[in-house]
Amino acid sequence: MKVAVVGATGVVGTVMLNLLEKRKFPVTEIIPVASERSIGNKIKFHGKEYSIVSLTDAVEMKPDIALFSAGGSASLEWAPKFAEKGTRVVDNSSAWRMDSSKKLIVSEVNSESLTEHDYIIANPNCSTMQMLVVLAPLHRKFKIKRLVISTYQSVSGTGKNAIDQLYSERNSSNPEKVYPYSIDQNLLPHCDVFEEGGYTKEENKLINETRKILNDNSIQITSTAVRVPIEICHGESVNIEFENDFKLEEVFSILRSSPGLIVEDEPDNNIYPMPINASNRDEVFVGRIRRDFSIKSGLNLWIVADNLRKGAATNTIQIAEKLIEMNLV
C-alpha cells in the first residue's frame, strides 16, 4: 500500500512514521511530504532512506492513503486534490472537523460509520479525542446531560517551538517565545486564541466536537483549557451529569470492558492516571472515578493520554487500519 505522510518532519508526523513501523501497517511505499525547505532531505523508514517530496509531486504519485498533519491551511488546499485522485485522506488538523459533509472519527467510538464515499476524514482535537474514548460508552448507557471540562494540556500540543521554549526556560537561556508568558514554573489558562464569548478556540473545540462525535446537540457543555509545563500528555478533569441514574459498579464495569481504555483507580494505593505513565502509550487512562454528590446523577473522572499518540498519530493510523478492514482501500 502506498502511504503519504504529509508533515513528515513535524512532531506528530515523526510519531506517525514510527507508529506505521511499530504497528506493521502494510506499507509498500512511503511518501514523506514536508514544507518546501525540507524537500530533498532524507527520512528513514524500515531501515531505508526516502527523499522528502513536495505536495504537488505527492498528489501525482496517487497514494492509497494520505495521513495529514501539516496544519489547517495546507489541509484545506491539498486534501481535496488528493481525494480527487482517489486517495483516502485522514486529516489531523481542524480544517474539516466541523464540516457537516465530513466524518469526525474516534476509532473506538464511531469508525463503523465510514463508507466508500468518505475520502476526507477528520481526526478530532487531541483533548476531545481522549475524552470521548471514555465518555461515549457511558453516554450510550446513561445519556449525558451536561459536562464541565477542565483540561491540563502539555506544551507539545502547541508544537516543537513550544517544547523548545519550555526547555530553554528551564536551562535559563533566552528562547523565542511561543506563549505570551513563560511556561516553565507557570500555568497558562490560554490554549489557542480567544474567541467570541471569552472562550478559547481549544475550549470551543471541546464543546463542538463532542456534540458532533456523539451526534447529540442537546448536551450542555462548558470548558476551561489550561497549558501546563510538561512536554507530553494531556490531563482532563471531567464532571458529568447524566439523564439516568447509575450504579458506580456499573460505570467501572463499562469502562473496564471498553476498547482503548485502561482503568487506574486504586486511591488507597495511590494508583491513578498520570502523564509520566501514559507517555508513549496508545491507550487512554481513566481514574479518580467517583460520584458527584452535589447533583442526583453526577460523576467525576480524571482522564490522561499521550496527545501525540492517541490524541493524534495513533487515531489517524487506526482510522487508516479501519479503512483497510472495511475494504475501502
Which residues fall within 8 angstroms of residue 42, CB to CB, at 6 or more apart?
49, 50, 51, 52
Pair 19, 47: CB distance under 8 Å: no
What is the set of active-site residues? 126, 234
Our CA dihedral for 55, 60, 65, 71, rounded to 10 degrees, sits at 20
Question: What grid cell was written down for 34?
Answer: 514536508
164 class by beta-carbon count within 10 Å (0-12 exposed, 13-18 middle, 19+ buried): middle
Query: Comparing C-alpha atoms, which of 16, 52, 57 is closest to residue 37?
Result: 52
Which residues fall within 8 angstroms of residue 308, CB to CB, at 6 or more apart?
11, 12, 15, 156, 232
The order of strands in the sheet holding 234-242 is 220-227, 144-153, 234-242, 298-305, 284-292, 261-263
